[in-house]
Amino acid sequence: MDLISKIKLDFKEAELYRSQGLLDEAIDKYTAIEALIKANSNIRQRKSLLAKIASRIDELNKKMKRISAPTPPPKVSEDAQTLMKEMFTYDDPEAKGSSSLGGAIALAKFGQYDKAIEELTRLLEYESLRVEAAKNLLSCWIQQNYVEYAVSLFQKWKKTRFFPPEELAIVLGHFQEVLAAAGVTREIAGVELQKTIEPDSEINDEDILDISATKFSLPGGPRKGERVEFEVSFQSGKYIQIIIPKKEKDLINGLNPGNMLKDIIFYSPAAIFSGTGFLSSKKAIEAGPKRGDYSFSIKIIDIKS
């Protein structure tokens, strides 16, 4: 192919990329043509060609800049908002009302904050949804940079005892996480959790074997009374830790600090023994691959056999 035909074809290619919005590819191609022309001094209309290419590249660069500039998500039509909500109506059909929560969260994810806030505020009224609704509500405000408002909202909940202390602690944990992620350092007056007084353990740390798993009846929640076995993820003397994945909501809701586990069984590589355990803490994991899962620590109070 002679030089002129090659340049013509290259031009056609660059123009195609440009018209299809393939900006990087178009810039690359124009730049290559530019180099080719510059290397050949005997091309007719060389100057005007180079000028045209330069203006194309300039225009493309400007467009790239515009497109990559961070812009707040646009507010979309009511139709589209309804659709966003309905896209998630199949979420967890078991739990009543959770579809509307899924819808509200979807609205927030799509940046439709006003509508999401409206929905989430409504969902605060439902006992089973209010923690998730509150968490997402705070996120919505923070994402729009209304830090002070979010803080005042949280403080209102705290002051009016809108949530039981356990739930408030979960909301607070999430709130702190969201603030940290947004790079905001702001003191939120901490929440005093009603301290549970731990019963004393009869045993010495040295006397406790390594425990690899444990089994006990769930003290509360929808599956109350069911015997469930858990792997022990960590042990420090008479405290063992178990982790429950976030999707196991029934288990998580059924276990709360202060619970006495009267029929607990401990499995160690050498022996199995039964005894009493005390659920001393419950925490949502805030970072890492297990983020959102819950860790519980159980204090071994006594061992019977």
Partner 1 sequence: MAVINLKNRQIECKLVYYGPGRSGKTANLEYINKNFSKQVAGKMISIDTEGDRTLFFDFLPIGLGKIRGCDVRVQLYTVPGQVKYRATRELVLRGADGIIFVADSLAVRREKNMMSLKDLHENLKKMGLDIRRIPLSLQYNKRDLENTGLPIMSIEKMEKELNRQLKVQSFPTSALTGEGVGKTLTHTIKLILAHLQKEFKWADGS
Residue with Cβ nearer ligand GTP (20 or 55): 20
Q: How many Cα atoms within 13 Å fall on the side-chain side of residue 230?
A: 24
Shortest reach from residue 19's CB to ligand GTP, in Å: 6
Q: How far apart are CA 101 and CA 135, in angstroms?
A: 11
Q: Decide whether 22 or 43 has the Cβ nearer to ligand GTP.
A: 22
Q: Which residue is nearest to ligand GTP (CB)?
A: 20
HSE (CB half, 13 Å, CA atoms) of 84? 20
Collect contacts of 41-44 with beta carbons under 8 A, ≥24 apart.
43/3, 43/4, 43/7
Q: Which of 294, 218, 237, 230 is nearest to 266 (CA)?
A: 230
Helical spans, DSSP H, in 182-272: 249-254
Q: Which does 13 bind (CB under 5 to 8 A by kind): partner 1, ligand GTP, none?
A: partner 1
90, interface contact from ligand GTP, partner 1, none, CB < 5-8 Å by kind? partner 1
Nearest approach, Cβ of 115 to partner 1 (angstroms)?
Answer: 14
Residue 181 interacts with, from partner 1, ligand GTP, none (CB under 5-8 Å by kind): none
Number of residues that bind ligand GTP (CB under 6 A): 2
Least Å from the CB of residue 165 to ligand GTP? 47
Nearest CA-CA partner of 27 in 5, 60, 52: 60
Other C-beta atoms lying within 10 Å of the C-beta of residue 6: 12
Selection from ligand GTP, partner 1, none that 9 binds (CB < 5 to 8 A by kind) is: partner 1
Q: Which one, 109 or 215, has the nearer CB to partner 1? A: 109
Which residues are at the interface with partner 1 (CB under 8 A)? 9, 12-13, 16-17, 20-22, 25, 63, 66-67, 71, 73-74, 76-77, 79-80, 83-84, 87-88, 90, 106, 109-110
Dihedral angle, C-alpha 251, 254, 259, 265, nearest 10 °:
-40
**Region 17-46 residues binding ligand GTP, contact defined as CB under 6 A:** 20-21
Structure tokens at 6: 């090659």
Q: Which CB sits closer to partner 1, 25 or 250?
A: 25
Three-class secondary structure of residue 101 per DSSP:
helix
Residues binding ligand GTP (CB under 6 A): 20-21
